[in-house]
Amino acid sequence: MTRLETRDLTLAYDGPPVVDGLTLDLPDGQVTSIIGPNGCGKSTLLRALARLNRPTSGAAVLDGEAVHRQPTKEVARRLGLLPQGAQAPDAITVEDLVRRGRFPHQSFFTPPTDADQIAVNRALELAGVEHLRNRAVDELSGGQRQRAWIAMSLAQETSLLLLDEPTTYLDIAHQEEVLELIRYLNEHEGKTIAMVLHDVNEAARYSDHVIAMRNGAVVALGTPAEVINPDTVQAVFGVSTEVITDPHTGAPVCLPCGDESTAACRMADDCPIALAAHDLTLAYDKRIVSAGLDVNLPEGVITAIIGPNACGKSTLLRALSRLLSPRAGQVLLGEDCVRDLGRRGFAQRVGLLPQAPAPPMDVTVEELVASGRAPYQRWWRQWSDEDETTVEAALKATGMVEFRDRTIDALSGGQRQRAWLAMALARRTPVMLLDEPTTYLDIAHQVDVLDLVRALNTREHTTVVMVLHDLSQACRYADNLVVMKDGEIVATGHPSEVVTADLVRSVFGVEASVVTEPVTGRPLVFPRNAVNGRYRNAIIEVAPDEEAAPVAEPVLSGAN
Amino acid sequence: MSAYVLPDTAEGVTTASTRRLKSVRLGPVSFRLNVRTLGLIGIAFAALVLFSSWALTLGSFPVPVSGVINSVLGRGSDEYDFIVRTLRLPRLLAALMVGAALGMSGAIFQGLVRNPLVSPDIIGINQGATAVAVFWIVTGQPVGMLAPVAFAGATVTALLVYVLSWRGGVAPSRLVLVGIGINAVAAAGTTYILVKYPIERVGSAVAWSAGSVYASTWDDVAILSIALLILTPLAAILMWHLRILQFGDDTAASLGLPVEPTRLLLVLVGCGCSAIAVSLAGPIGFVALMVPHIARMLGGAMTGSVLILTAILGALLLLASDVVGQHFLPVSMPVGVVTAVVGAPYFLFLLYRANARL
Amino acid sequence: MVAESAPAISTQVGWRLAKATGLMVLVGVLLLVLVLSLRIGSLGLTTRDALDAIFNYNPESYEQTVVRSLRLPRTLIGLGVGAALAVSGAVMQAATRNPLAGPSILGVSSGAAFAVVTAIYFLGIATPEGYVWFAFGGAAAASILVYAVASAGRGGATPVKLALAGVIVSALLGSWSTALVLMDQETLDQVRFWNAGSLAGRPLGIFWTVLPFMGIGLIGAILLSRQLNVMSMGEDTARALGLHTGRVRLISGVLVVMMTGAAVAAAGPIGFVGLAVPHIVRLFTGPDYRWTIAYCLVAGPILLLGADIVGRVVVRPAELQVGIITALCGAPILIVIARRRRVADL
């Protein structure tokens, strides 16, 4: 019997159960990851473990007693939870935030004691945010902010720690930063940790125990090596993968097999230029994001723009799509300067799919796709023959015909993204710009969307430019990479030429090994911080950016 | 994976016209029309005509339906003519047109803010007109100028809200909050005027601010008709742009729509509808809020034709409220009180059911 | 590392010292305002008259009688109402995590007005003492209704939903009030002055009537401030830290209704003090509600009495009701908040 377990746990919001009759143990002293597709009930399970959701039947059991029968403060002294996307009050400092983690140890009339302050200091030190204690949380970088929140949970001084998607919205370097901390807390502080993770490979690298869920039930559980295999991943995510072993860590790495038939390597150098930027200076209000950018985007090729958070990649895409007018320099579409093209003329040649667009919820798929025809329409010409045939073709091409009368809010994340792609397709623009088309999607939907993008590129010879978050995806799907850091372009070229260990280190600040994938000949990036799942003081090995350097000090002194 | 293969042509694809949307094409002009909406418009219009004829028979001096019809068509007897054409018809027509204007302005604002719970009365337009009109009344200025002055008050308030919401663009939810603030300032101004002046004059100012079509004249009707003749087609056309705008600013801009100019135009038309209504009838709440909802429930997403339906339903609702307030209550009540009593519970119900996104 | 953390801790202490000093300064300002409120009016008085009237009362003196019968009740009511409104605004903003929460948004005023109009029209009650209980009940009922409607649907009481529910309930109750005053000019005449919100003309008895409610509300708010701190970190985090969020929300709701109900009963509807004061003091105190509430307790009366004094001066010899002045000053603050915040946060 372990300290935290579930017995026949059933959870439901108003409707069918989200988690159905689940019985499992979370092994003490280990890092457990819960993985599964969007909506499989993994976050709900975590919330029930922390007493946030009341079970419909069965129970989450902490120390032999049903968690929802124990007083809430009692639970909070033994079990900490960091909810997903927690938002700090405006302008709160790191230390004040952490101090609030002491709440369960204080009672109504006792003021904070010295013991509280000691616990707060220790939490700050452990999470490596001590030097940031007087900074406001909302000024910090994503990784620092997440560590401040973890420090808040540490101040609770619980031996059990639950984390809901601690790495979402972070770039690869910050993800590693947070996961290293979690690993460290497990090994050196003896914390039992359970976390919901989005990324299968992160779970494989950083946990001792993996629970794979689908539709509210456990499909597989065990060590990463036992769980992460093609059959399980197929059963959980519904996507076929190859699983290889990371040469450095020995952790399994799962590579989705996309539609490989079209993956023929096309050399970008030979193509004419579809879209180009010359000496571009981009700024919001007074803040200059990029200065003197030069970039050429070849025609008929998929280009991916990659880089760490806030490196200016989305800003560049906004400038290319004319949403942001450059402070200086110009964007050229073929021979024409974008500024001289009319609004509609430009809209007929360049399409854009913004990040996480939010259409009105009562829009049907067909209506959404039809709106892609707007650049060709006038209020008196709302539905020409051509509009009709194009929309039908776009619906068919994206497999959305059967959903045409559904409203957007009745679609899953992946279907919704396809509907947007259908809209972009209905525009019939030779150039298509996509801003992070795979964010918020689980692995199966990501593959689905990227395969569709590639099919469009191959069949229609559409020039695709997309901002991507995930280095491996960019390597697999792009023929041309534009790598950015701090508003500058660091490298451009085919992934196999551009992506090297040196580049990953200098751009993302992560030590990684780069190997060539056998089937496609494309590079694969393995972050190398965790060796055999064991913690190494990797933060220090990495050539860190200025902010990360002092952070690692206290962690180190504790570790040695 | 075969689903990803693009068909070379659209052959063999079922066309939309097999469903309830009818494509109408004539040279360069082409539309998609929803047959059901057209049917609804027809039914609503017929109901409006019938209800109006019946409403004209009501009053302390009953007139038979035949008398009403003859009088309206200009072949009635003199005794009925005076009652119907001079006393009742202007009020009826004013009620209809005010209702239509309010309905359209509600539809525009709700679409613009992408929030089904917003109407021009919440964002201060009515209150601005009220403050100015109340001042005009209690200081004993010429009554003839009341409507233009109230119109100016509404317009200035709307512009103020728009300008104060502008920060490199007008974010709709900022528009609402700024509107609530301006609304409060105008309300404080109104209160000040009400406590400052003697009670005899304040009484009639409060009566105006309850909102009624009681004293409408043929002049009012003429002004309303001209305004609606201009604003209605404009609003119906702009619905197409509004729909694109609702997909989000970035998407709309990348589809070639000039985002801020379109938004300004929509605000102008919406305020125009609202201001003309408030200046002639006083602030009548809830019609602008409720009617677009009913229209959408019946006719689906807001398009040009659903907007027309909205206008007709607005006319119907305002007329019905006026008839109830005038004839079916123990004391005769201004139409604004009736619409609030009917509308507020409905609105609260909507809020209860509202989407979590709000 | 030691060298690094030592100044860090002293900064913390320094901050606390600065906040305490600030609070002391504010208390000084409040005392000054209290004296000014006793002195300034259509009859100008000296500080000596004002203080003598309280500590060394001479019934023969006309000046001192004015202070005792008019200025003192007015000042005490202003003190209580200002504190109650500001603190209840802070509590609401914390409990709902909503920067726009405030008594005026919750429909408190229109609820009270509704009850007062009804009482005047049907029961013929005509004195401020008579209104008190009706105003209190109406305010409580309306705010419960607004909050219930806004939080009932999916997604809970989001800022926009709360604001809209408040506006609508106000409009509904307002139209009922309008209907009544249209039928009876006498009612209108009484109501319009009550409706403007004023500290003038209230006997001292009203202050004693509402004091228990205000007192319990204020003390409760101070005791609750640590829970409110945790609450402001978000529902999930607060519950994970062992806070009974439902219970805290309920208690804060009861406290808010007691304070705002008492305030509106004593002074009529006074807008925007509850919304604006917490925002202003937060500029100095940061997000710690223990300090925010303490500051509100002092800053609320300063603002309200300050506005009242201004109202006595600007249109001499007449007076401008304090509710009008606070609305005129407060609405711009709302607009500034709306403009400054990222819209997604609202």
DSSP one-letter string for A276-309: EEEEEEEEETTEEEEEEEEEEEETTSEEEEE-ST
Give the mean pLDDT of B244-250: 87
Q: Does C338 touch chain B (CB under 8 A)?
A: yes
In which band, very low, low, confident or very high, does the pLDDT at B277 lie, cut at 50, 70 and 90?
A: very high
Whether C8 maps to a domain, the answer reads no
Query: What is the enclosing helix (H) or strand (E) of A242?
Result: strand A241-245
Copy the structure tokens of residue C99: 């920067």
Q: Does A388 touch chain B (CB under 8 A)?
A: yes
In tens, the pLDDT along B14-42 reads 334 345 677 888 777 888 888 888 999 99
Beta bridge partners of residue A133, listed in sequence order: none
Q: What is the CATH number of the domain that holds C28?
A: 1.10.3470.10
Whether C12 maps to a domain, the answer reads no
Dihedrals phi, psi of B120, to nearest 5 degrees: -60, -25
Neighbours of chain B (3+ CB pairs under 8 A): A, C
Global pTM reads 0.81
Of B164, B180, B188, the CB nearest to C328: B188
**Residue B100 · residue B291 · CB < 8 Å:** no
Which residues have CB under 8 Å from A381's CB, separation 6+? B28, B29, B30
Say which residue the tokens 């690993």 belong to. Answer: A183
Whether C7 maps to a domain, the answer reads no
Reference B175, options B226, B138, B120, B93; nearest CA is B120
For residue A553, the model assigns a pLDDT of 33
Q: Does B28 touch chain A (CB under 8 A)?
A: yes
Q: Does B22 touch chain A (CB under 8 A)?
A: no
Please report how the helices B125-138 and B199-210 are oriented relative to each other, as an axis angle in degrees rounded to 10. 150
**Residue A157 · residue A119 · CB < 8 Å:** yes
- Residue type (1 letter), B234: L
The tens place of each residue's pLDDT in chain A, 560 residues long, gives 789 999 999 988 777 888 888 898 999 999 999 998 887 888 889 989 988 888 889 999 999 899 989 998 889 999 999 988 777 777 788 998 999 999 998 877 677 788 889 999 999 998 888 888 888 887 787 788 888 999 999 999 999 999 998 887 777 888 888 898 999 999 998 999 999 988 888 888 889 999 999 888 899 999 988 888 888 888 888 888 888 887 777 788 888 776 554 444 455 566 788 889 999 999 887 788 888 889 999 988 999 999 888 788 888 998 999 888 888 898 998 888 888 888 888 999 999 988 877 777 778 888 889 888 988 888 888 888 888 889 998 898 888 888 888 888 777 777 888 888 899 889 889 999 999 888 777 888 888 888 888 888 888 888 999 998 888 888 888 989 999 998 899 999 988 888 988 998 888 888 888 888 777 778 888 877 543 333 333 333 333 333 333 333 333 333 33
Distance from CA of A16 to the nearest CA of C (A): 18
Length of chain C: 346
For residue B151, the model assigns a pLDDT of 92
What is the rounded average pLDDT for all residues in chain C? 83
Give the mean pLDDT of B53-71: 86
What b/e readout covers B169-202, taking b as 16+ CB neighbours within 10 angstroms? ebbbbbbbbbbbbbbbbbbbbbbbbbbbbeeebb
B231 burial type by CB count under 10 A (0-12 exposed, 13-18 middle, 19+ buried): buried
In tens, the pLDDT along C61-99 reads 888 888 888 889 999 999 999 999 999 999 988 887 777
Peptide bond into C317 cis (omega under 30): yes
Residue C167, pLDDT above cutoff 60: yes
For residue C7, the model assigns a pLDDT of 46
Structural domain of C260? 21-339
In tens, the pLDDT along B92-105 reads 999 999 999 999 99
In tens, the pLDDT along C190-219 reads 888 888 888 888 888 889 989 999 999 999
Give the mean pLDDT of B191-207: 86
What is the rounded average pLDDT for all residues in chain B? 84
For residue C82, the model assigns a pLDDT of 95
**Residue C229 · residue C91 · CB < 8 Å:** no
DSSP string, B233-276: HHHHHHHHHHHHHTT-HHHHHHTT--HHHHHHHHHHHHHHHHHH
Q: Name the residue with higher pLDDT: B174 or B107.
A: B107
Of A344, A360, A367, the CB nearest to B114: A360
Query: What is the enclosing helix (H) or strand (E) of A482?
Result: strand A480-485
Q: Count up the domains in chain C and report the number.
A: 1
Sign of CA dihedral A335, A338, A340, A341: positive
Which CATH superfamily includes the segment(s) B15-323+331-356? ABC transporter involved in vitamin B12 uptake, BtuC (1.10.3470.10)
Distance CA B286, CA B228 (A): 20
Query: What is the enclosing helix (H) or strand (E) of A353?
Result: strand A350-353
Chain B residue numbers touching A358 (CB-CB < 8 A) = 248
Q: Which residue out of C106, C110, C146, C168 would a mutagenesis test of the B interface target, given it has the greatest number of B Cβ atoms within 10 Å?
A: C168
Chain A residue numbers touching B292 (CB-CB < 8 A) = none
In tens, the pLDDT along C310-320 reads 998 888 778 88
Q: Does A96 touch chain B (CB under 8 A)?
A: no
Of A74, A90, A95, the CB nearest to C12: A95
Copy the structure tokens of residue A342: 């009319």
Q: Which residue of B has its CA nearest to C148?
A: B352
Chain B residue numbers touching A343 (CB-CB < 8 A) = 256-258
> Left, alpha or beta for B114 (phi > 0: left; psi -120 to 50: alpha)?
left
Whether C264 maps to a domain, the answer reads yes
Whether C72 maps to a domain, the answer reads yes
Whether C344 maps to a domain, the answer reads no
Q: Which residue of C has its CA nearest to A106?
A: C226
Residue B45, pLDDT above cutoff 60: yes
DSSP state for residue A526 in the 8-state scheme = E
